[in-house]
A and B are shown apart, each in its own frame.
Chain A
Amino acid sequence: MLVEKIKARFGGEILSAQNERDEETFTIDRERAYDFFRALRDEPDFDFNFLTDLTAVDWLERKPRYDVVYQLNSLNLAHRIRVKIGVDGPEPWVPSVVGVWGAADWLERECFDMFGIVFKGHPDLRRILMYDSFEGHPLRKDYHYNKRQPIVPEIDPVVNPIRSSR
């Protein structure tokens, strides 16, 4: 029901739609994403007033490399959908949806911090969990999980044992 309505209303925007384990996923293009999300929020048939989550998945060898994933929820109509935007390139970007949902402010900052995805139009896009001098984006698949970037130099107790004064 909801899926048909969305398909009828946004036929041009939707690149693909799939249903997997009772969850609806729509893939759209970033160029018209902002208007798409705005309409999903404002039109009474959809009423997606709650941005549950915003994150990304790095597929490394796939083209496009990243999926930016939005989980939308309607508190009044109790339905959920997932929207994906595929992005690629050395500086992947999608339009910011801070103007649609306030929750996007911190979620987009986190996604930028962890994946290096730029949210164009975000009022204050800077790192949130990592520190400013951190290099790289830790949740990208080519960032090794054991790589260390301490702010204060780490002293290896084996190589440099702390000598007691005695």
Chain B
Amino acid sequence: MALPARWKDKIVPSDPSDEIMELQMGPSHPASHGTIKFNLKLDGERIVDCDVEVGFLHRGFEKMCEQGTWTQCFPYTDRLNYASPCINNVGFALAVERLLAIDTTERCKYVRLIMSEVARIADHLTCLGMAASEVGATTVAFYMLEAREFLYDLIESVTGARLTVTWCRVGGMTHDLPADFADRMKASFARLDQVLGDCDKLLSRNRVFIDRMAGVGKLAKEEAISYGLSGPLLRAAGVSYDVRKAHPYLVYDRMEFEVPTGDRGDNYDRYNVRFQEMYQSKRIIEQALAALPEGPVTITDPKVVLPEKEKVYNSIEGLMNHFKLIMEGIHVPAGEVYQAVEGANGELGFYIVSDGSGRPYRVRVRPPCFLGMGALNKMLIGRMIPDIITTFGMINMIGGECDR
């Protein structure tokens, strides 16, 4: 556009081609589901530098865990990755049990495994649904959220809550599976299958979707390892590392399943890996349910597990036992342990230190998506602004887990 004659000597138009523009995207941006800020340096629409700011949801998880008893940490762990709280519960319980050197019952292991896998499917559905809606496939998002509801119904039938389950305890769980769990699961899975089939047809070979995802957010194998990526992000880069296979916990070594991997390490591979993982999780659940042993889900060690209410109300021993466990907490011997589980986003590790009192001395969570966010800048430099949205979506940053 030509400038009016009277402005000619007042305004010197700059050459836009060599100007670096700084743009702050977030912390509350409609296309980023999570509170996060990108400080971008742009050359036109190309990203020259991207400084990722996290921490907007920091609530002092690790500090607060040091204030209560071991059991009181469970509600906090729900709020780490709140899309799959069962896995966080299981991870923390396993860590404390290892420090206590106790073994849970067989049934407990199977039930924990089943619920972890249900949570994993729910988490992947959330991630993929949201990522799809951000590239315009709103239909898929609602299909997937609907499917997630079936799974939440399942989780609710077991734990009594949909999201903040607080369902594991040291030494067991609050609830066993309901009697009709197998039937409920069959019904849920039948509908889930339908939804997954539909979404597969809508997305996997969709030209718009592939154009937005393929080749975007690439990270080479060596870099992915160096940056500590795990879970679907690492597997999409071609590294077949899964905590369930490499360092089996619960009864994963008895299950037959595959670890899907990609080879390009881009967003489309990450989508594919997550999609395939849902089928594998289903496979695991079906096997586990077929092999589910009978028996109690909680051990009976009075130093660890609360007595039955009948004993608490009718005997002084029961009452004292209850009182001691609630007020002083479980006495975990001094020491430290690192226990990793395969979270929906990758290796979810609990490094816990006890000084022998009833309270944790230090609880450290290794948050998988925090490390994913650390590598985001490497994935984005040289790409365009719209690629931020898809890459961020595929990292599946969960504020509660990343910022703690």
Contact = CB atoms under 8 A, between A and B. Distances in A.
Interface of A: 20-21, 23, 25, 49-53, 55, 57-58, 69, 71, 75, 78, 80, 82, 101-103, 105-107, 110, 114, 127-131, 138-139, 143, 145
A138 B55 contact: no
Given A106-B374, A130-B58, A57 B362 contact: yes
B389 interface: no
Contact of B241 (A75, A80, A143): A75
A92 B93 CA distance: 33
Contact of A20 (B66, B336, B371, B375): B336
A103 B349 CA distance: 15
Interface of B is mostly: mixed
A96 to B, nearest CB: 14
A23 B337 contact: yes
B339 to A, nearest CB: 10
B251 interface: no
Nearest to A49: B225
A71 to B, nearest CB: 6
Contacts of B338: 23, 52-53, 71, 80, 82
Given A52-B366, A129-B403, A139-B62, 15 more contacts: A20-B335, A51-B228, A52-B338, A53-B349, A55-B351, A80-B338, A101-B227, A101-B228, A102-B227, A102-B228, A103-B371, A106-B374, A129-B58, A130-B58, A145-B60
Interface string B368-399: 00110111001000000000000000000000
A80 B63 contact: no
Nearest to A113: B55
Interface range for B:
35 or more
B68 to A, nearest CB: 11
B287 to A, nearest CB: 23
Nearest to A51: B228
Contacts of B370: 106, 110
A80 B247 contact: yes
A37 to B, nearest CB: 13
A124 B44 CA distance: 26
B66 A103 contact: no
B355 to A, nearest CB: 9
Given A20-B336, A129-B54, A75 B225 contact: yes
Counting chain B CB atoms within 10 Å of each CB, the highest count among A49, A106, A107 belongs to: A106
Contacts of A145: 60, 63-64, 66-67
B347 A52 contact: yes
Contacts of B66: 145
Contacts of B239: 75
B250 to A, nearest CB: 16
A130 B55 contact: yes
A21 B335 contact: yes
B99 interface: yes
B317 interface: no
A143 to B, nearest CB: 8
Contacts of B324: none
Interface of B: 54-55, 58, 60, 62-64, 66-67, 98-99, 101, 223, 225-228, 239, 241, 246-247, 335-338, 340, 347, 349, 351, 353, 361-362, 364, 366, 370-371, 373-375, 378, 403-404
B55 A50 contact: no
A125 to B, nearest CB: 14
A127 B53 CA distance: 10
Contact of B353 (A49, A57, A110, A128): A57
A7 to B, nearest CB: 21
A41 to B, nearest CB: 9
A58 B374 CA distance: 25
A52 B99 CA distance: 20
19 contacts: A20-B336, A21-B98, A23-B338, A25-B336, A49-B226, A50-B225, A52-B349, A53-B349, A57-B361, A58-B362, A71-B338, A71-B349, A71-B366, A75-B225, A102-B378, A103-B374, A106-B373, A107-B228, A128-B55
A88 to B, nearest CB: 18
B374 A105 contact: yes
A145 B364 CA distance: 16
B364 to A, nearest CB: 5
B374 A55 contact: no
Nearest to B336: A20
A20 B60 CA distance: 29
